[in-house]
Amino acid sequence: MIWLSNSHSNQIDIQNMFNDYINHNIQFGIVNIDSTWATNFNTFIFDPIKFPTIRNMLDQFREKNIHIVLWMTSMINIDSPNYQYAQDHGYLFNKTIKWWHGHGRLLNYFNVQAVNWWHEQIERLIDAVGPIHAFKADGTDPYIIEVLDPRVTWERYRTAYYNDTFQVLRRLVGSDALIMSRPVDDDLEFSPHEIVFMGWVGDEDGTYNGLKTAIRYMLESGRRGYVGFGSDIGGYRSDPSAGTLGRTKELFLRWTAIGALSSFMENGGGGEHLPWKFDNETTDIYRSWVNLHYKLVPYLYSEGTKVAIGRNGTLMKPCDDIEALFSYSYFLGPHIYVVPVLQDPTPNQTQRLWLPKSSTNYWINYFNTSIIHKSHIFIKEDTSSLYRIPIYIEQNSLIPMYDIKKSYTLNAFKFVLWGKIISDKQQTTLFTRDGQQWLLEFNRFQRKLTVHFIQQYNSNKKHKWIWKFCQYVNQQEICSHKWLALYDNASVQLEFLI
């Protein structure tokens, strides 16, 4: 997801951002339009001066398969054109609150007429500009404690606020609709667990301490069972000591790596976040991390679906080994291990890191598959380059990945077996975006990979998927030659296996 801070919430700047990302060959899937897009906060009417032809712009985005996110809260300001009607009809809590965008009152989600009126405004918005795929539901819910109503706790209000925002979009737009909301921020839980698939952990400083805070909140979100989340790459707030761009190139790229190795990669906020505004090297490195994130989408989607269905886990699980204490290291899904680098690179820089236990007892260096380490040991890793941070893949993992060179439409899968074969059989599950569930079955003795259709979940669309098998070993990519259609009991005979 890409976005600009509210000082740039206008059609010209957003269109320019959109065009610039395309011109720099950097993929993205979501455009978020930040606060101040409307005639007033939560009128749900685009400002016609800032956005003179908003429908045309959003239609252009959607034609390129870009999803739209709009910022919102549960607050109506006292100077808003819809305030008096809501106040006269008893739709608001009877307390004016000073918040970060003025003075307003909170919507009463426990008044059916109030909620219906709120939904009517959202319906008119969608009728006017087309489908909105998500709202970024910002955190006005804690202000409910200022209302001093003992019947309405923060937990009760936040549950109503986030659930209603999620459900109204599902009803109006369909099963693709989500909300963007906080899981854990400031060590507090915000959203209900079952609706956070696009979480973000609040507003951090554009410093290494800000990066540490973001990772800490993400890992705590994982501990508490939230499925998917990320953070504002480079920090939401600017660092006054970092010069006119608001953050250093080094911090921005170290954070970009963590953004790419989260389930939700998103970039925007105060100060400068456009990579080409730093320099060409920053643009190239940023693009490489975005490409890695896209390659991992089938893995993240499949593993995230498993834990979401089972309500029994997360995509970003902290490594709680005592040897990894204070390292902020984590597992991305079950087979990928990440160690953040929380300092600028220097020549010949190394970092001592802990490799935890693995089901196969070995970890493979993602960037150099000829480097294999036993698990449950300390190693030294080169961290002198901005192009990489320590990423390790569990040996013999069978991981579904996109081949973005083959297709930017994200319909081409590589089923990648990592490292030399050390087990006779391997299975993993693939979930596709059109609601299909597949079982991948690798058999060493038959020298064959077979796909089995399991079931079809509800979906708005049907896609055609193509796939092939690869083995990544000894710095080689060994792949079957033909791209095959994904159909039940399709298989590929493997000529070369290491």
Note the pLDDT of residue 357: 97
> Whole-number mean pLDDT of the chain?
96
Note the pLDDT of residue 368: 96
Q: How far apart are CA 43 and CA 359, in angstroms?
A: 53
Note the pLDDT of residue 409: 84
- Residue 310 pLDDT more than 70? yes
Read off the pLDDT of each residue in 410-417 and give the average, rounded to a whole number. 95
Q: Three-state SS across the chain?
A: CEEECHHHCCHHHHHHHHHHHHHCCCCCCEEEECCCCECCCCCCCECCCCCCCHHHHHHHHHHCCCEEEEEECCEEECCCCCHHHHHHCCCECCCCEEECCEEEEEECCCCHHHHHHHHHHHHHHHHHHCCCCEEEECCCHHHHHHHCCCCCCHHHHHHHHHHHHHHHHHHHHCCCCEEEECCEECCEECCCHHHCCEEECCCCECCHHHHHHHHHHHHHHHHCCCCCEECECCCCECCHHHCCCCCCHHHHHHHHHHHHCCCCCEECCCCCCCHHHCCHHHHHHHHHHHHHHHHHHHHHHHHHHHHHHHCCCCCEEECCCHHHCCCCCEEECCCEEECCCCCCCCCCCEEEEEECCCCCCEEEECCCCCCEEECCEEEEEECCCCCCCCEEEECCCEEEEECCCCCCCCCEEEEEEECCCCCCEEEEEEECCCCEEEEEEEECCCCEEEEEEEEECCCCCCCCCEEEEEEEECCEEEECCCCEECCCCCEEECCCCC
Supply the Cα-derived Rg of the chain in whole angstroms. Answer: 23
* Maximal C-alpha separation, the chain: 75
- Residue 109 pLDDT more than 90? yes
Q: Is 94 exposed, middle or buried (0-12, 13-18, 19+ CB in 10 A)?
A: exposed
Note the pLDDT of residue 176: 87
458 — pLDDT class (breaks 50, 70, 90): confident
Note the pLDDT of residue 416: 97
Over residues 372-388, the pLDDT tens digits come to 999 999 999 999 999 99
- Residue 461 pLDDT more than 90? no
Note the pLDDT of residue 175: 87
Note the pLDDT of residue 484: 95
Read off the pLDDT of each residue in 226-248 and give the average, rounded to a whole number. 97
CA distances from 471 to 48, 109, 436 (A): 54, 53, 24
Angle of CA points 437, 438, 442, to nearest 5°: 160
Q: How far apart are CA 75 and CA 137, in angstroms?
A: 11
Over residues 344-380, the pLDDT tens digits come to 999 999 999 999 999 999 999 999 999 999 999 999 9
Q: Is 314 exposed, middle or buried (0-12, 13-18, 19+ CB in 10 A)?
A: buried
Over residues 172-219, the pLDDT tens digits come to 999 889 999 999 999 999 999 999 999 999 999 999 999 999 999 999
Q: How far apart are CA 344 and CA 248, in angstroms?
A: 9
Structural domains of the chain ordered from first start: 2-312 (3.20.20.80), 322-394 (2.60.40.1180), 398-493 (2.60.40.1180)
| Nearest CA among 107, 217, 223 for reference residue 165 | 107
Read off the pLDDT of each residue in 85-93 and give the average, rounded to a whole number. 98
408 — pLDDT class (breaks 50, 70, 90): confident
9 Cα distance to chain centroid: 22
Q: What are phi and psi of 24, to 5 degrees?
A: -95, 10
In 24-153, where does DSSP find H-type helix?
Answer: 54-63, 83-88, 112-129
What is residue 107's DSSP assignment?
A: B
Note the pLDDT of residue 460: 62
Note the pLDDT of residue 462: 77
- Residue 317 pLDDT more than 90? yes
Task: Provide the token pair at 50.
Answer: 């800032």
Read off the pLDDT of each residue in 414-438 and give the average, rounded to a whole number. 94
